[in-house]
A and B are shown apart, each in its own frame.
Chain A
Amino acid sequence: MPPRFRFAALLAALALPVLAGCEATNPTPETANLRLLVDGVVGAAAYAPGTTYTVDGRAVTFTDARLYLSNLRLVRADGSEYVVPAGTPTTLPAYDDGGTEVSHTVNETVAYLPLDLGRYEGALAEAPAGTYTGLRFDVGLTGQTNRVNPVLAPAGHALAKRTDFNNHWSWNVGYIFSRTEGMVDLDADGTAETPWMMHLGTAGYVVPVSVTADTPFTIEPGTTPGLHFQVDLAQIISGLDLSDPAQRGCMTMGCSSVADAVRAALPDAFHFHGVHAD
């Protein structure tokens, strides 16, 4: 091979891997596709609607248990956060403070957790791979996201009006952030016979939750890890005296002391069980 061709061949031989590397690093993002996994529990027991549990010494059932979770952030060791965006931002009709109809784009994480239907599994957005020490989120919906017109949200959307158990107050625009209902035993015969309900909502009752993992957790690139929580329903109602009729039926408005008790209890109801692999 003439020298000039040998040089060219050498150059090509050296260049090819580099060029191949250039195409590969349109770089593969170092991200993972997150999932959210949430189970309902009652103390140490798995939650099943209609099952009788003992809560604060009384027989109690939970016929439904549904929550809204939003604004999810991953927390790093230095305290900084990665805000997990909506997987697919959606523009929906909503109302502003004055009740005028506006268009609102939901850019934040929003998840509707109907725990009475079993384990919740939902896709979240991408997040940077790395090591994290905790998570933060809200129980509830903030700003205009809470003023979306649910009837106009597409079927299957977290903000769509439910037809089974109500998730939105048509009489006071806004979603029910935490909905728990059931029966309680008031005559000590072991059978829960008296209905109770606690619906938490309105702008003043968005509940910030901060959870620190027992050990830092790592999100690996190119994976679909599941962030696994358990929600203790007994903890949600731990501040209530269900023998008091005034505390057995509350939809936040007009029963602020009851709502305050639930707001105080909610942050401790969430337990992070780590990251499930794909």
Chain B
Amino acid sequence: MNRACFLLLAAVLLGGCGLLGPDEGPGSGVPLVGPPGYGPVPVPAYNPTTAEGVALGRRLFEDPLLSGDFSVSCASCHHADRAFTDGLPVSHGVRGQAVLRNAPSLLDVAYRPRLFWDGGAPSLEGQVLAPLEAADEMDARLDTVLARLTAHPAYPTLFREAFGEGPSLRTLTFALAQFERTLLSGVTPYDRYAAGDSAALTPAARRGLALFRRSGCPTCHPAPTFTTGGFEDNGLARVPADSGRGRITGQHADAYRFRVPSLRGVAQTAPYMHDGRLPTLEAVVSHYSRGGEGTDGQSPHVRPLALTDDERADLAAFLQSLSTQQ
């Protein structure tokens, strides 16, 4: 075997082992490149990402056929130009109903170990059906949705091309999950700065980064993900109707804790917090400058920072640098 053949064979073998293209998930037919420092995009072996699956998932994501009254799609609350949020304090489902919480960004959702603000769903495939079935979101009966998909002029063929079988709960959730895994934030000005490009951040953003670090923010928002993936009570005034993580675990210690969101794309995801009560990044900075509302159970990491006006502006400038859209 000559050298070229050897190298070709090695490439085939190593590629099959996933040792080439470290950002590609196992068995993936679609290259998935995570943000700098994130590592390979997690892809379950039972639902590898394929071009056909992603295309089908994208179409389903945008199709109000999945809602009870044909009025709401996943994209209705997750807009691509808003880092997959909707710009509202809380989202609106069918019949204009206001739901309980702010639409979380879907950027880099493939990396999240637990989904929703309270972490109630452990996987993308497991999460998909929740908004479909929720009476105040898409209010769909699954047998009706499957009947619609089966009777549709295009979907049966698209499902067979992607999965070798027609519409079912499994293929529906798999397609949507495959599409959601492709929603990956890119290289931000911060990433370029962290990689050595000192001009990538403005002076204000550089000052803001230093302030971010010395204020203890990375305790909950460490680079490169800018989230621990955990749950915290960040000192927001409590609303009894929503006890967050505590509703899921039933543990008193988890009451009013919510998932720590990533700060990537944060410039596009206003308003902020699990119920969208803070309208701007400046309001968020003010909240943390005050040290929260001092509620029972507030995380000890949230403490008064007493920031000056200039420091607040610098911190906001740094947060802006965590978005690819400026």
Contact = CB atoms under 8 A, between A and B. Distances in A.
Interface of A: 93, 95, 98-101, 149, 151-152, 161-164, 166, 169-173, 202-204, 253-254
B113 A171 contact: no
Nearest to A254: B247
A171 B120 contact: yes
10 contacts: A99-B113, A151-B126, A152-B46, A163-B169, A166-B133, A170-B130, A171-B127, A171-B134, A253-B248, A253-B250
B129 A163 contact: no
Contacts of B241: 254
Given A151-B173, A204-B250, A171 B130 contact: yes
A151 B44 contact: no
Given A95-B123, A163-B169, 5 more contacts: A95-B126, A151-B170, A163-B141, A173-B122, A204-B250
Contact of A170 (B128, B146, B250): B128
Contacts of B44: 101
B43 to A, nearest CB: 12
Nearest to B127: A170
A203 B250 CA distance: 9
A172 B125 CA distance: 13
Contacts of B79: none
A91 to B, nearest CB: 13
Q: How large is the interface on B (under 10, 10 to 19, 20 to 34, 35 or more residues)?
A: 20 to 34
B141 A171 contact: no
Given A163-B146, A164-B141, A172 B170 contact: no
A170 B46 contact: no
A152 B130 contact: no
Nearest to A197: B135
Given A151-B125, A151-B126, A172 B120 contact: yes
Nearest to A202: B250
Nearest to A203: B250
Contacts of A202: 250
Interface of B: 44, 46, 113-114, 116, 118-123, 125-130, 133-134, 141-143, 146, 169-170, 173, 241, 243, 247-248, 250
Given A152-B46, A152-B170, A202-B250, A173 B133 contact: no
Nearest to A256: B250
Contacts of A254: 241, 243, 247
Contacts of B134: 171
Nearest to A147: B122
A172 B118 CA distance: 9
A169 B133 CA distance: 9
Nearest to B132: A170
B10 to A, nearest CB: 32
A149 B125 contact: yes
A202 B246 CA distance: 13
Contacts of A173: 120-122, 126
A268 B128 CA distance: 37
Contacts of A171: 116, 120-121, 127, 130, 134
B46 A93 contact: yes
A203 B173 CA distance: 25
Given A151-B169, A152-B170, A163-B141, A172 B248 contact: yes
B143 A164 contact: yes
B44 to A, nearest CB: 7
A149 B123 contact: yes
B224 to A, nearest CB: 22
Contacts of A161: 129, 142, 169
- Most chain B beta carbons < 10 A, residue from A93, A95, A170: A170
A253 B146 CA distance: 29
A108 B119 CA distance: 29
A93 B44 CA distance: 12
Given A99-B113, A152-B170, A163-B169, A170 B143 contact: no
A96 to B, nearest CB: 9
